[in-house]
Amino acid sequence: MKQKVALVLGSGGARGLAHIGVIEELEARGYEISSVAGTSMGAMVGGFYAAGVLEPFAKRMCKLTMRDLWHYMDLTISSRGFVKGDRIFKTIHEEFTHDVNIEDLDIPFTAVATDLVSHQLEVFDKGSLFTAVRASISVPDVFTPVEVGKKRLVDGAVISPIPIPYVKRQKDDILVVVNLSGDDKSYEEQSKKMLRKSGKEIKKKEEEKQTLHQKLAQFFTFQMPGIKFDYLETMGKTIELMQREIAALTIRNHQPDIVIDIPFQLATPWEFERSAEIRAAGREIAVSALDAWEEKRLIKSAG
């Protein structure tokens, strides 16, 4: 009989691509994912998994370039967010979510978002999968909020970066949490090594990245005497710190059976062009975490 898993996927931008590798390793070992809950990229990956379209999504992401990212970033001058996201969300709807409702998925799925009006968490466990994913990944001040009635919904990570209380866990399920705010300084150097490829390829990637950054910097940098502020970098680090603290507290309070810690040093929230590397790292980290838990369980059963 397969061991069933209630899977919780945390927030962390591009690091969320590591969720794909974790799911691949769980399935390769014969675990059955019986329910999934996610925030932000965790909601996207978890929702696509529950809808049976994770593999096409993973293949699409592996082909993503910095040029593609710039194409999808339809900028808008607005107090509600500087990326409308129309191109991104049109692709998500047409290729992955379609008009599927959450209650019609093969396994129970839950996504969370934050309502800026009520200051409460909005829990999606029924209704439009597209709306749930769209709301959950809407990073404040980046994507424009999702309007649902009187609600203005943004990224669920503002309140719940790891939505453990909302996964539909059954009695004999083990609780597996993927935390994208882990801490392992050795990954700073490993992350750099991942990028040390052939000279032409790395030069091209760096040029594309600089071009994207320069275009964004026209809108999102400001200066004080002797100091230059990068809005995107400052905002990213602020969100990272906030999520790390909330995630650590949530894990302590709920004591999952297995915690798979993806180091925040692995990638920045915006490095989606490193999809294949991040996915592979997620699987590698999952191998270590699952090996440790299985060994502990074996020793316990033998004793």
DSSP string, 19-69: HHHHHHHHHHTT-EEEEEEEETHHHHHHHHHHTT-HHHHHHHHHT--HHHH
Identify whether the C-beta of residue 266 lies closer than 8 Å to the C-beta of residue 278: yes
Instruction: Determine the pLDDT at residue 175.
Output: 99
In this prediction the pTM is 0.85
Look at residues 277, 232, 273 and name the one whose alpha carbon lies nearest to residue 71.
273
Secondary structure (3-state) at 131: helix
115 is catalytic: no
CATH number of the domain at 213, please. Answer: 3.40.1090.10
**Is the predicted pLDDT of residue 144 greater than 50, yes or no?**
yes
Which is higher by pLDDT, 184 or 154?
A: 154
Distance CA 162, CA 167 (A): 10
Instruction: Determine the pLDDT at residue 200.
Output: 47
Q: Which is catalytic among the residues 11, 34, 35, 40?
A: 40
Instruction: Determine the pLDDT at residue 242.
Output: 86
Secondary structure (3-state) at 160: coil
Sequence-ordered list of residues with C-beta below 8 angstroms from that of 78, at least 6 positions apart, any chain: 84, 144
Q: Which is catalytic among the residues 141, 155, 173, 261?
A: 155
**Is the predicted pLDDT of residue 167 greater than 70, yes or no?**
yes
At residue 31, φ and ψ (nearest 5 deg) are: -75, 150
Average pLDDT over residues 269-288: 94
155 is catalytic: yes
pLDDT band at 86 (very low <50, low <70, confident <90, very high): confident
Q: How far apart are the first and last CA of the chain?
A: 22
pLDDT band at 85 (very low <50, low <70, confident <90, very high): low
The structural domain count of the chain equals: 1
Which is higher by pLDDT, 280 or 140?
A: 280
Average pLDDT over residues 259-283: 93
Provide, rounded to the nearest whole percent, the portion of the chain with pLDDT above 70.
78
Tell me the pLDDT tens digit for each residue of 231-260.
Answer: 666 766 777 888 899 999 999 999 999 999
When mean pLDDT is compared across 80-84, 86-90, 114-118, the lowest value belongs to 80-84
Domain assignment of residue 114, given as a range: 4-302
Facing residues of 259 across strands? 177
**Is the predicted pLDDT of residue 116 greater than 70, yes or no?**
yes
When mean pLDDT is compared across 32-41, 134-143, 286-295, the lowest value belongs to 134-143
Sequence-ordered list of residues with C-beta below 8 angstroms from that of 50, at least 6 positions apart, any chain: 36, 102, 105, 106, 107, 108, 109
Q: How far is CA 199 from CA 63, 68, 203, 205, in A?
A: 19, 21, 6, 10
Instruction: Determine the pLDDT at residue 224.
Output: 44
**Is the predicted pLDDT of residue 65 greater than 80, yes or no?**
no
Q: Calculate the average pLDDT of the chain.
A: 85
Average pLDDT over residues 11-17: 95
Instruction: Determine the pLDDT at residue 87.
Output: 79
pLDDT band at 73 (very low <50, low <70, confident <90, very high): low
